[in-house]
Amino acid sequence: MKLARDTWLIFERSMWLTLHNPVWVVFGLMMPFLYLVLFGPLLESITRTPGFPAGGNAYNVFVPGLLIQIALFGGSFVGFGLIAELRSGVVERMQVTPVSRLAMLLGRSLRDVVILLAQAIFLVVIAIPFGLHIDLPAVIVALGLLALVGLVMAPFSYALALFSKNEDAFAPMVNAIAMPLLLLSGILLPMQLAPEWLRTIAAFDPFSHGVDAIRALFNGSFGDPSVGGGVVITAVLAVLSLYAASRAFGRSVA
């Protein structure tokens, strides 16, 4: 009960601060839009390439990838905000209140998930005129899975921020981890196009399962085995990430 209340308080404050900084909100919506407009048309001709998944509609392959990309990159950069809060002393100030340490993490992470879902819905809606076909129940499940990906990335980013404590150390660390995860997850192009060795490595990228699952959902195949697998793997990762990050919050900022 206290955890829920504390989480809500931290969420409310974080959300207020985010919404009062419209630069980030607009920037966050511009990115996927630019990808869609400036990169999407390239894909239309690729769908005829041998090896491209059958029944391939370019946007039904590409939009799920973009969604994961927003989750991966948007999520991994949230730590920058926490570093600013560490520097201003806000985190330390709250650590000397009875507020739950887990709530300090959950409140911020849930704000990140809400922002992520808003961006995702915006992207899906504007992709429809480009040619994206959607099956509403499947898309809703896909968004749920996307929220889980956000719950993996945001706590992970916060833990890294608490560990590194400054942007100079944080930025390269985040890039070094997020970039290969992104490339191997088959976000931009389906991994079916990849050579055997690359596909083998990619299977170890936990997010590739999430991407596969979200793609399957966008193609309306609820029963696809990748859906269940993707959800389970991502959920396990989210729990691990939340656990590690809440421990980092519990330890002091010293």
Partner 1 sequence: MAEQATAMVETHDLRRTFKSRTGAVEAVRGVDLRVEAGEIFGFLGPNGAGKTTTLRMLATLISPTAGEARVAGHDLLREPGKVREQIGYVAQGGGTDPAMTGRGELVIQGRLFGMSRTVAEKRAVEVLDSLELTDAADRTTGTYSGGMRRRLDIGIGMIHRPRLLFLDEPTTGLDPQARANLWDEIRKLRETGTTVFLTTHYLEEADALCDRLAIIDHGKIVARGTSDELKSQVAGDVVTLGVGGANDAALSVVSSQPFVREASVEGDLIRLYVDNGDSAVPQLLRLLDGAGLVTQTISLNRPSLDDVFLRQTGRSLRDTAA
Binding residues for partner 1, per CB under 8 A?
A: 6, 9, 13, 16-17, 20-21, 85, 88-90, 92-99, 252-254
C-beta of 91: minimal distance to partner 1 in Å?
8
C-alpha 96 chain-centroid distance: 31
- Closer CB to partner 1, residue 99 or residue 124? 99
13 burial via Cβ count (<10 Å: 0-12, 13-18, 19+)? middle
Minimum distance, C-beta of residue 102 to partner 1, in the bound complex (Å) = 13
User: Closest distance between partner 1 and the C-beta of residue 2, in Å?
Assistant: 9
Quote the least distance from Cβ 253 to partner 1, whole Å: 7
Q: How far is the CB of 75 from partner 1 (least distance, A)?
A: 22
CB of 254 to partner 1, least distance (A): 4
Report the distance separating Cα 118 and Cα 242, nearest Å. Answer: 22
